[in-house]
Amino acid sequence: MNDLVFVADIHLVEGDDLAPAFQDFLRSLVGNTRECVIVGDLFNVWIARRRFMSAGQLQVLKVIGEVAAAGVRFKYVEGNRDYFVGENWSGEPFAEVATQHLMASSGPTRLLVSHGDLVNADDRQYRAWRAFSRSWPVRGLFSLLPSSWGR
């Protein structure tokens, strides 16, 4: 049995030909894996409020939920294209959602897991954009968007 599996930067889009294969991969974890950490950017852009979710996104999350219910623990680290994941999906299907980093372990080895978009401390332009795009005023603006615009 695998203690720990990592998945990162899948960038699925609506109607993606790879979605069924990814869902099959997730199902293959049942009975074989204790924990799966998704290290950001599961979808190409994910505004993770339920009213903005596409059918394809909901299907992938449904499969993650089924696999979690079968005993695989899922953790998620938000990537640079993820918004509001922790606010809306923590606890179901993700046991833990982190905005910057989280801890994972495999046997006696402890790992600090990060998406990596904040590694370059000198990239002030990106860091400013990241802070702005996740700020309370922007969150408020997302609340005003029609559902179709958010999708």
Q: How many percent of the chain have pLDDT more than 90?
A: 72
- Residues in the chain predicted with pLDDT less than 70, given as ranges, are none
What pLDDT, on the 0 to 100 scale, is given for residue 29? 97
What is the per-residue pLDDT for 143?
82
Q: How far apart are CA 118 and CA 142, in angstroms?
A: 23
Give the phi and the psi of residue 121 in degrees, each rounded to 5.
-65, -20
The predicted pLDDT at position 72 comes to 97
Q: Give residue for tokens 């030909």.
A: 17
Domains with residue ranges and CATH for the chain: 2-150 (3.60.21)
**Exposure letters 124-148 (e unless 16+ CB within 10 A, then b):** eeeeeeeeeeeeeeeeeeeeeeeee
Residue 15 and residue 59 in contact, taking contact as beta carbons nearer than 8 Å? no
What pLDDT, on a 0 to 100 scale, did the predictor assign at position 142?
A: 81
Q: Which of 148, 46, 21 minimizes the C-alpha distance to 97?
A: 46
* C-alpha to C-alpha distance for 62 and 55, rounded to whole angstroms: 10
d(CA 115, CA 80): 8
> What's the predicted TM-score (pTM) here?
0.91
